[in-house]
Amino acid sequence: MSRVILINLVRFVLLIFLQVFLLKNVALYDLSIPYLYILFILLLPFEIPNVMLFILSFVVGLTIDMFYDTPGLHAAACTVLALVRVLFISITVQKDGFDNEPEPTLSIMGFRWFFFYASVLTLVHHFVLFNLEVFRINEFEYTLIRWISSSIFTVFLMVVSGLLFFRRKQR
């Protein structure tokens, strides 16, 4: 269990560092902004207690809020992301079949499931984040474009990082 905690602690530090010092300055035409830090929440183990998942999601969002000077936007979006993650995993995954490495990674779950999982959860996170950020109906088109383009950019980075850093399925 200490190995899992160490891996997730390193993952947390690396993703926050990458988001704050590199990806914060990356934007395509000020419309598409990648939020790769949510990969930390997506890759938490299946059997993590829901209370711990919500606490960790809130802490991740609050950490990003401190660096982005956004008062609770990322914390709220990450908490909603945790709720949707619980619902998504309870609907799509039979937890009994994963005994050695019970994490929802690309190498364990396969490309199709991981892509769908990352896409749905990223869309939900970005929808909440951008709507809380703008909070005006008269900027609907701009928010919609930002939501879709940022989600595509973020999922692309998640899949690329999954292909680069995770080992092949060993079943």
Backbone phi and psi for residue 15, each to the nearest 5 degrees, phi listed first: -70, -40
Which are the contacts of 62, defined by CB distance < 8 A and separation ≥ 6? 72, 74, 75
Using alpha carbons, select from 101, 102, 116, 100 the residue that is nearest to residue 158: 116
Query: 28 by DSSP, 3-state: which?
Result: strand
Contact 63, 16 (CB under 8 A): yes
φ/ψ bin of 69: left (φ > 0), alpha (ψ from -120 to 50), beta (otherwise):
left
Which pLDDT does position 99 carry in this prediction?
45
Please, what are the averages of pLDDT over each run of 10 residues along the chain (171 residues)? Answer: 84 93 84 92 90 96 93 95 93 61 77 92 95 86 92 94 72 47
Which pLDDT does position 96 carry in this prediction?
47
Sketch the domain layout of the chain as residue ranges.
1-165
**Tokens 């937890």 identify what position?**
95
Which pLDDT does position 106 carry in this prediction?
81
Contact 104, 48 (CB under 8 A): no
Please tell me the distance from the alpha carbon of residue 50 to that of residue 72, in angstroms, as a whole number: 21
Which pLDDT does position 18 carry in this prediction?
92
Which pLDDT does position 111 carry in this prediction?
85
Query: 51 by DSSP, 3-state: which?
Result: helix
